[in-house]
Structure formats: C-alpha cells, structure tokens
Structure 1
Amino acid sequence: QVSHAAMEPRACVAQYFPDGSTEVWTSAQSPFTARYILSHALGIPLQKINLHVPHVGGGFGGKAGINFEPLVILLSKFAGGRPVKLLLTREEEFTTAPLRQGFYGWIKTGVDANGKITAEQMKYIYDAGAYADYGVNIGRAGGYSCTGPYEVANVHCDSITAYTNHPYGTAFRGFGHLEFLWAVERQLDMISQKTGIDPVELRLRNALRPGSITATGEKLRDDAGRVDQCIKAAAEAIGYGKKQKRESNRRLHGIGLAALWKAPAMPPNAASCAIIKFNEDGSANLSVGITEIGQGTTTSLAQLAAEELSMPVEKIRVVPERITDLTPYSWQTVASRGLFMEGRAVISAARDAKEQIFDMAAEALRVQKADLVLENEMVYPRGQPDRGIPLQQFAMGYTYPNGNAISGPVMGRGSYVPRGLTYLDPETGQGYPALKWTFGAQAVEVEVDVETGVVKTLKVASAFDIGKAINPLLVQGQAYGGRLQSLS
C-alpha cells in the first residue's frame, strides 16, 4: 500500500447556515460526486450543498471521492454556523488518508507449442482495508481487464475485493490495472523461460489487435489502438536485441519489457457538460465540470474551443473554480477520461455557439447559413471575405447600424455521454464496459548490484497509442510523471 503524496495536502473549509444549507471549499477531483455523497450521508438536499473547488494540487485518485468534508460541515454546525477549516499536515496525510489497495494475484496459463495462450485462470484479490470506498470498482476494473492486452480464447477470472484490518484503500493512478498487470507480465516472462520463446516475441504473438475479442466479449474496433506497435517501438527505443547484457563480478545489466492496457472504469452513463459564454469584446469564458489537478487539461480544452471558434486561444478563459451551483455537470475527474470526454462536450458547446452566430449572420448578411464561414474571428459568405462581420459584433447579439437588434448574447451549451456501454452480465461476465482502451508498453535497462541488492534504472523507454495528442508537450509531461512516480 502506497500513499498518493500529492503536492497539496487535503484541505477543506465549510460553513453551515441556519436554513440548513452549507458552503464547502475543498480540494476534490469530483465536486458533483462529493456533493451527492455529502447529501446522502448528512441528509441535506442537493440544492442546499454548494461545493467550491479551485485548481487542485494533485490527486492521483486520492481526492476522487470525499475525505473529511462531512466532519468539517458538522463541526461548523455545532460551532453555531461559524466557518471551520481543516488542513492536514504531511504526517497526517500519511497516517489518516487512504492508500493504494494491496493486491494478491494467482494465474494459471495454458500455452500451445507456438507460444499462443489458449486458456487462463486467474484469481485476483484486492485489499480494500477496513472500508470499501472505491474498492469494489477497482476490483471490477481488474476483472474485465484481467488478461492484460492479450487475446485469450478461454478465460476464467475471479476478481475479489476483500475487507481487511489494514488502512482503507482507494483509487490510485492506474485504478487496479497496475497491480494485476504486474502479475500478467511476470507470468509471461515465466512462460518465456519455460518455452524458450523470446519474451518480446511471445507478447507480439498474443497481443490484442483490431478485431480481437476481449475477455468480456467485446470486439475491438479498428481505432481501438495497437499494443503490438507499442511493444515494437519500446523494444527498439531501449535497444532490445541490439546490445548484449554487460556483466561484471558485482554488477549485472538487464533489459525488460512489459505491455499494458487500461479501461476508463466508469459507469455507462458518465456524462460531461460545458458552457461557453461570450463577452462584449468577443472573448469567451469556458465553464466545465472537471477539475484541473495538474495535467493541464484546461489548457487543452481552451485549445479545442479556440480551434472550433476560429479565434486565438488567448481569448478563451477557462473559469478556474468549479462551483456546483453554477458549473455544468461532469461525472468525475478520474478514469483517464477528462480531456477525452470533456473535450467532446466543449466541442459541442463551441458548435452550438457557432450555430447561434451563424443564425444572426445569415439574417444580417441575407445569405443561407450553409454558405457562411467563420475564420480568423470574421464571419462572411463563402468566397466573399470583403463582406465579413467581426465575431465581436455577434457576441452580445447583432445590432444593425440603425439600432435594431436581433437575438441576444451568445452562450453555447454542449454535453457528451458515452454510447453503447453496458454493465457486465452477472452470470456470463459478458458486456461492453469500456468506452476506450489505452494501450502501451514500457521497457527498461537496469543495473543490479548483486552484493547489496541495489537496483539502478539506467534507461526507460515508453510507447503509448493515445490517438490524437491535443497538446503533445502536456502528453510528454504525463508520461514522464508516470514513470517517475512508478520509480519513487
């Protein structure tokens, strides 16, 4: 079990009012989920709980649910409605906050003469500690992802979440996948040793590809990702097969490679919403429900809105604070879904705003909407940029030179909800639990001191099939951060 150790410790300010309402300022990844849990636990109606969430100084899953917000609310109530603040010290973070869950894995694998996996039986046990928190969901994610990024025709997996007398566990970067993937990859290395098949080649022979069937019966689409290409890229980058292991009497060198996949692990109806509101000068404010926890997601969301509206990204301001009374709903900032799903809601909101602008422009320019173009903050009939009207003139509704006004301020609304997902059938374990899969591979070169047991990482190579990178620099930052966190 490992502590999240985010830069910002958990913090909360709450004030309880005589009418039974409460205002809460907290460091949370999921404002709307936290509000729902608080309502259920304290018996306060949802409309009387207002959460304020500014930028969060790191979470890694540890701030995905609630922490001690109920305690602070009750303290405020018993203090006569005075505001109460609670800020954990670093020591208190380590001793009172939830951790990564413990894990036990057992795997039995059948392999044919060519190294093709024919059958697997697994038993995964996640140590939830004294309280469930996110534990059951983590065990569920481990269950439907149990084979790792490999095609196995016959699968039996029991993924169990158990109560123990240990500190309680919660979501942690990877959400249960890191733990069972360690077991899967070690099993493949053992198979490689027994069969004499190169470990990289063994993984390539069994890798999932478009058209493959997962353990839950899902057929991977053509755009699902290519773990085989990630394996090849990581192997080439680390120099696999090109350099001999350097050995001395004391220090041994070795190269290892592991593949990965991850599903979002979210309910089928996890929705995201966004609102774009224009200002008088033609700039716009973007309001979203996901929180900024350090990845730079809000920067990428501003880029998406700016591209759709053909305006400089500097003119898009993402509202920094999430306020549940005012902010559009978003399920949670978890599950590798932030930009992927909120970005679609932002694009939808931008298109809605553009439609409102085109409605006004079509009337003002006496043309069909289909003939209009929005480019470089100008709206004009296709092929006639000289007739263009600045975007700013539509922001508050268009006004003719004689003062006659049409429409009103532009405010775009967008939402996104995944389609085609289902719960797993309780009898067969079949279903469609994953909206998308993230595929990747990691390779390392290490040096081992055989006398002290000290392991030194000499080189790391990573390859991920992420689809379209909206901001490549931020993507690199996430890759570097994940590697460093895994080594710490």
Structure 2
Amino acid sequence: MGKYIGESIPRMESFEKVTGTARYVHDMALPGMLYARILTSPHAHARIVNIDVSKAEKLPGVKAVLVGSELPYKLGLYLVDKDILAKGKVRYQGEAVAAVAAVSEEVAQEAIDLIDVEYDVLPAVFDPVKAIEGDAPLVHEDLGSYDYMKGVFHPVPNTNIANHFKLRKGDVEKGFKGSQHIIENQFTMPQVGHSPMETHGVIAEWLPGGRINIYTSAQSPFAVRNLMSVAFNIPHSKIHVVVPYVGGGFGGKAGIHLEPLAACLSKKAGGRPVKIVARREEEFNTIPCRQGLVARIKTGVSKEGRIMAQEITYYWDAGAYADYGVNIGRASGYSGAGPYDIENIKLDSYTVYTNHPFGTAYRGFGHVEFFWAVERQMDIIARELGIDPYEFRMKNLLKPGSITITGEKIRENTGRVDKCLKMAAEEIGWGKKKTEAERIKELKEGRVTGRGIAVLHKAPAMPTFTSSSAVIKFNEDGSVNITTSGVDYGQGTYTALAQIAAEVLKMPLEKVNVVWESDTDTGPYDWQTVASRFLLMGGNAVINAALDLIEQMKEVASAVLRAPKEELEIGDEKIYIRHNPDEFLTYRQVAMGYCYPNGNAIGGPLIGRGKYIAQGLTNLDPETGQGLPALDWTYGAHGVEVEIDIKTGEINIKKIVSVFDVGKVINRILCEGQVTGGVVQGVGTALYEGYVYSPDGRLLNNSFTDYKIPTAMDIPEKVKPLFVETPQLDGPFGARGVAEHPMISVNSAIGNAIYDALGIDIMDLPITSERVWRAIQDKKTVGS
C-alpha cells in the first residue's frame, strides 16, 4: 500500500505509560480541591422516608452535603429517567443516595457514615421475563412522562419495558409450515462488570460565573459536554470538558456518570473543585454494568438444511435505568439473527427495567450476549439435522447478493464471513475426527478434547447523523500536530491515525504527533469513541484534513514556483514540479508562510481541516425494523480447541483461532493486540464472569476477591489472529473497525467445543468448572 499502511508500528504512547509519566484523572489535583464520597442504598427497591444529614454537615472539614431533593435535574442518553441522586425512592442496591465533599477522603467518608436514612422497603423484580408480566412491581411508575428520542426508541408506559424493538421480514408462519424441523431453545447470560484498570474518576468545578470545568476519565468529551448541557440547561460554550489519558473503558466510560454529581457538589461548595474517584466496589455496585439477557430462539429448517424461518425474543435486563440499554436492545434487534440469509424472521427485543444495577454500553454492545444464543443454536440445529456445523453455516451465511434482515443488500465489498469461517475452520483442524483409540486414551487419562466454531458480525450502533472531525497544523520545523476529539483509551487508534496522516502527507511518521488530551474548548468535534467507529470515521477525517493541508501547500508553492497547482506533487517533505523535481519547496519553508528574499511573505500558518459524517443511514421502521442502520459490517469467526478434566470440570483452552475481515489492516501489531485482548475478555465472559445476587437483590461479588476475571494464568495456550482484507470502499485505505469484534462469539465457540468434547449442552453462562462438573455427573456416559 505504501510506507506505513499495514506496518506494525508500536503504540505512540507506550513510553509515557510504561514510565508512569502519562497523566490520568487519578493523578490530578487542583488548588483548593475537595474530595467526595457517596452514600449508597442497601436496598434494591425502597421508598426514601427521610434523610438526616445534620450530623454530617456539622463535621469539621465538610464543605458540601447533597441529597436528591436538592437537585431538580434529570439525566438520560436516549430516555431521560435518572436523578443525579436518588429522589423519592431507590431502584437498586448500590444507588447513590447522598454525597459529601470535604477537605479529605477520610473526612468525607466519616461524614457519609453520619448520615441517617429511613427506608420503606418495596417489592422488587429481578427477572426481565417476569418484569414484563402484568402484576410485576413497576420500577418507573412515571415512564409515560419521560422525555425520550422519539422515532428511534419505543418505551411502553405503565410497564417495565423501556424499549420494544420490532423486526419483521417475510412470512414467519409460512416459513415454519414449510420447515422439516423446528428447534426451540432458551439461553441466558448474567450481568457483567467492565473491570477497567482505572476506575471512574472526575474533577469538576462550577465556577461562580456559571462556567463548569470538568476533567474526566470518559470516552468522549463532547458527549459529556452535551449531556451536561441538556441536564443543567446551560449553554455548551459554558461547559469545558478535558479527557486526559484513560485507563480502559470497554463502553463503561461512555456517556456520563459521576460528572453531574461532582459539578453539583462544587457549586454547593462555592466553586471549589471536587474530585470523585470510584472505589472498586462502587465500580461494580454503583457504576453501570453490562446488561443480562434471556434469549429465546425458534428456528425452522428444511430437510436440506436451509433456514426457513426464525422467531427470536430477547429480554434484556436493563437494571434500574435505561442509559445505553435501549440502544443495545435496538442494535441487537437489527443484527440479532447473526450473519445469516434468512427470508422469514420475527424478532422482538425488549429492554426491561429491573431492580438490578443498570446496564450500559459494553464491548460488543449486546452482540457478545445474543451471539451466545445464536451460535449455540446453530450447532444444536446442525446436530438435529445430522449436518456438520461448518457445512450448515456455509449453506446459510450471508454472501454477496443476500438481503439482510433489515433489507440491506450485501455487496462484494461488504465483507466475507464465509472466508473468515473457512480460514478459522482450517486452522483449528476442523473435520479431523478422533480415532477410537484416541477417544479411549482420553477417557482413561480423564481429559477429553473438543473443537468448536462460531461466526459473528457487528456494525457501529450510532445515530444517523454521527460525525468526526480533525485538524492538522504545521509546527515551525515542518512537523505536524493532529488534534481530534476521539479518545484513545488503550486501543491504539491515535497511532493508526498518525500512520494514515504520514501516508497521505508523505512525511516521516516521527514528525506526526497526535495531541493526546481531548479538550472541548480547543479540539474539533467528535461524537463518541464507541461502536468501533473511530478508525473509519476519524481516519477519514484525518485523510480529509491532510488533503486540505496539501491543497494549501500547493497554493503557496504554485505562487513561489510559478507553476499551476495541477502540475505540483508532494513527497519526501517537499512540494515539487512534476516534470522538474529539482524545483521544489520543503514543508518547513511553507509551514508558517513563505518569505521571499526581499522580505515579502505569502501564505501564513497552514492548518488542515477535515470532517466525515456517516452516509446514507436511516431510522428503522417502527413496525418492521426495515431500513439502513449500519455504516459498515465487520465479519469474523472463531475456532476453538478445549481440553476438559472429567473429574473436576476444569476447562483448559488450548487454542483459539480468530479471523476478521477488517477491509485493510492499518497496523498489524495493533490489530493482533486487539484480537488477543478481546479473545481473553471473551474467555472471561464464557468461563468466569457474572454478577451474583442474594434473593433480596444485594450484589454478592462486588470485588475482585469474588468477581473473577481472566489473569495471565488463564490466557489460552495459543491465540492466533488472522485477517481477511475485503476493502471497505468508504473506509480509510479500505479499513473497517475491529475493536469490539474479537470478544463476540468466543463464548459460543467454547460452548460448542464443550459439546464436541462431552456431548453436553450448556445453555447458561458462565460455563464454570462447577457447572460442567455437575453436567458430567448428570450424564451417564462422557465422550460418547
């Protein structure tokens, strides 16, 4: 492609992070800064009868105490349903009820302990399926009065349904009547914590003049600014948001969380800056998590193995508030059948309020969850028909010319899931059967092996009008600075953007600097760094900014070299005449404006501006879900080999092959790192992770003592990332995103491999050793 595209360039910020010089919110302190702590509810659902803060207010060192009744503001991304502090009643155990700002964390915590709250415990609901029954307690009695994004989301008043997404294509009843086999199953997945290395942190100051300054560990400074502006009815120009280095997000730092509370505490404290840093227990209990899911799938299949009809119902455990949950329900609706060519489908996706901690965006945005059901179902169907799971998938996968469930036509440049599956299956040794001697040997040794495959797809879930922008400005020495307000919180996109800029500008990569800190006062607009959209959209914005800069350089050089712009070329940090390369100007000569020998000057500081907005997207029909919801689709497949100890149920993942059609690899080592990290995170979802509650809704595993995530000891013996490159026509150099995708379908591939090894179907996550062991005890023979 060129000098930098496709190369394995180390991440630009590596030195700062390794040496500890990278500055995070946790490291920051402002003059006069106060420290805040939060009082949370011990009950899942209760009326707040009285809050007595008198003792806390009298404690020396306390500068501000807040309760919900003082704050007339409502929060919400797509459905405005949340108070900054609980007001009237609490809706989940761990919800913030009161807050204190004091001269130290110790004093703030002492004050929190002095606050007395009287509760009247209410009936609660924890199961999303039961929550939509007519006699279920209402989590939000006033749902019908809430503001929401009309035409996109569909809350149902007087119920616990925050959003009902419907998709209809073809004639489902006719499809089932023409089916030879009908297979119906239910799959479940619990809520899961994001577990970033850096917990949520924010410093806010609400100055006496009405300006709010915010320093936050967020995934988008402009999203924080916009949501704060809407919540407080303050002009955007009076809200200044800065995002420094961020220690991981995985979707949990999208939107707003602690920022409004810190700002309100600052206001009450007379404008002194207030810092809130979530403790790890609060990261689990108070900050939102990933939604849980109950999935029911009914599939009709012909004798030849073609999917004739499918009926799917998703019940999303949104917890106490809608947040991103309603959009997850929507995204899982329009992509919720997987990358399959299905003529007749009926899909209902319900985002349901419960009295659990509320759900938000999480890597995969619902796809990790529903693909657990879809790809386990595909293996079960193949087994029912006596067809190889690989052949069954190949018979039904989307291919060029297919029509998706929302009516989009698949084209040659859309991406090839069939190529991904073929490569994954070959690399994992699919189709190689165990000999009788090998099977007997395994059983004698007490460790059986199995292989599983699974496919996936995902497109960015974002508004139709989402956009990105970038600015590239020259420095005096001819180097450039790139400013963009997308956030690199560990995925390495800034390095990829630098490669793209260096490639277009034809200059050394070491002379391209991406400004790390994102700042709404000085940076160009970007919607959010979510949905695996930033490389495609931010990359296109950088390309356009670089082309704008080149155009300006040529204008100056045209006058100096006395040649038409059309006859000028760039390369090696020079603008030269195409037919006479010895006539040139260097980038350094034109960067700040060109000066003639007599002192006359032309040009001026050169600044390139670029932007990109999603093209052609539409809202979806509220009754059928038809339309164009997605900018681009990234397809992939996993092949997994597992080894299971029959005596203990312990699962050892020997190998995972993960293949993705990324359009074009911009930075190979970064892509491989994304895949490896995503696969390990997927292993966590598959084998270990899940919130565990007491019968009254108390979260029992709200620390790393009891909530287990993969460690270095749990990384599969071999993770092999591979890439297919079907260029995305509107992507930067043909690229499309691959940030979330490696985590999707890892769980289902493992589940399918477990069946291959043991003949046992696991339908509920996580697949713990205990769950496998119990299933083995319930089975008369193993490995048959």
Deviation at 1:341, TM superposition (A): 0.7
Q: Distance in 2 between matches of 1:349 and 1:7?
A: 34
Q: 1:150 aligns with which of 325, 340, 347?
A: 340
Query: 1:254: which partner in 2?
Result: 450
Structure 1 regions of 5+ residues with no counterpart? none
Q: 1:364 aligns with which of 560, 584, 595?
A: 560
Q: 1:267 aligns with which of 463, 467, 474?
A: 463
Correspondence 1:3-402 to 2 at 5 A: 3-242=193-432, 244=434, 246=439, 247-249=442-444, 250-402=446-598
1:48-68 superposed Cα distances (whole Å, 9 cap, x missing partner): 000000121110000011111
- Which secondary structure does the structure 2 equivalent of 1:167 belong to? coil
Same amino acid, percent of matched pairs: 57
Q: Distance in 2 between matches of 1:387 and 1:254?
A: 67
Deviation at 1:243, TM superposition (A): 5.0
Q: Distance in 1 between matches of 2:430 and 2:598?
A: 74
- Which secondary structure does the structure 2 equivalent of 1:56 belong to? coil
Q: Distance in 2 between matches of 1:251 and 1:298?
A: 45
Query: 1:403: which partner in 2?
Result: 599
1:247-278 superposed Cα distances (whole Å, 9 cap, x missing partner): 31422211000000001011111100000111
After alignment, is 65-74 or 87-96 more displaced? 87-96
Deviation at 1:383, TM superposition (A): 2.9
Amino acid at match of 2:493: T
8 Å Cα contact 2:220/2:243 also seen in 1:
no
- Which secondary structure does the structure 2 equivalent of 1:224 belong to? coil
After alignment, is 117-126 or 91-100 more displaced? 91-100
Query: 2:634: which partner in 1?
Result: 438
1:211-230 superposed Cα distances (whole Å, 9 cap, x missing partner): 21000000012111100011
Query: 1:479: which partner in 2?
Result: 675
- Which secondary structure does the structure 2 equivalent of 1:142 belong to? helix
Amino acid at match of 1:325: D
For these two proteins, the number of residue pairs brought into alignment is 488
8 Å Cα contact 2:295/2:312 also seen in 1:
yes
Deviation at 1:449, TM superposition (A): 2.1
Q: Distance in 2 between matches of 1:211 and 1:51?
A: 46
Amino acid at match of 1:122: I
Q: Distance in 2 between matches of 1:269 and 1:153?
A: 30
Superposed CA RMSD in Å reads 1.0
Q: TM-score, normalised by structure 2?
A: 0.62
Q: Distance in 2 between matches of 1:83 and 1:219?
A: 53
Q: Distance in 1 between matches of 2:586 and 2:293?
A: 59
Query: 2:758: which partner in 1?
Result: none
8 Å Cα contact 2:295/2:313 also seen in 1:
yes
Amino acid at match of 1:94: F
Q: Distance in 2 between matches of 1:254 and 1:236?
A: 15
Structure 2 regions of 5+ residues with no counterpart? 1-190, 685-784
Q: Distance in 2 between matches of 1:374 and 1:175?
A: 42
Q: TM-score, normalised by structure 1?
A: 0.98
8 Å Cα contact 2:467/2:614 also seen in 1:
yes
Amino acid at match of 1:438: T
Q: Distance in 2 between matches of 1:212 and 1:361?
A: 50
Q: Distance in 1 between matches of 2:314 and 2:282?
A: 31
8 Å Cα contact 2:500/2:543 also seen in 1:
yes
After alignment, is 89-98 or 18-27 more displaced? 89-98
Q: Distance in 2 between matches of 1:128 and 1:256?
A: 30
Q: Distance in 1 between matches of 2:233 and 2:629?
A: 32
8 Å Cα contact 2:447/2:646 also seen in 1:
yes
Q: Distance in 1 between matches of 2:447 and 2:573?
A: 63
Q: Distance in 1 between matches of 2:349 and 2:632?
A: 21
Deviation at 1:89, TM superposition (A): 2.1
Question: Which entry has the higher C-alpha Rg, 1 or 2?
Answer: 2
Q: Distance in 1 between matches of 2:247 and 2:620?
A: 35
Runs of at least 4 residues off by over 6 Å: none
Amino acid at match of 1:469: V
